[in-house]
Structure 1
Amino acid sequence: MNHGRYVFTQLMDLVPRYEFNKCTNRYKGNSRVRKFSCWQHFLCLSFGQVTFRESLRDIVVCLQSRERQLYHFGFRTAVTRSTWADANRQRNWRIYCDFAQVLMARARQRYQGMPHKGPDIDHTVYALDASLVHLCLNVFPWTKYRQTTAAVKMHSLLDIHHGIPEFFCVTDGLTHDMAILKQLFFEPGAFYVMDRGYMDFAQLYRIERSGAFFVIRAKSSLRFKRQYSRPKSGQQDIVCDQIGELVVHGSRKAYPVKLRRIKAKDPETGKATVLLTNHMEMEAQKVLLLYRSRWKMEIFFRWIKQHLGIKLFWGERECRQIADSGRHCHLPDCCNCHLPLSNSTKNARYAKNPERLCFLQSTYKSTV
Structure 2
Amino acid sequence: MNRRNFIRLAGGGTIAAATTGTLVACGAVGSHYPAEAVEAWQGPVGETDVRRRAVAYAITAPNSHNLQPWLVDLRESGVITLRTDPARVLPQTDPWGRQILIGHGAFLELLVMALAQQGVASEVLLWPQGEMPAALKDWDNRPVARITLKPGGQPDPLFAQVLLRRTPKTDFDTTRPVAPELLARLLRSAPVQAPLSVGGTVSDAQLPALRTLCWESARVELLTPRTMMESIQLTRVGPAEILQHRDGISINSPFVRAVSALGLFDRSAPPAEGSAAYKNAMGRFEGHSRTAMGFVWIAGPNTRSDQIHTGRLYVRQQLQATALGVGMHPMSQAVQEFAEMAPHFERVHQLVLGRPAPRTPQEPAVQMFCRIGYPQGEVPATPRRPLARFVQA
TM-score normalized by the length of structure 1: 0.23
Which of structures 1 and 2 has the larger relative contact order (alpha carbons within 8 angstroms, sep 6+)?
2
Bigger Rg over Cα: 1
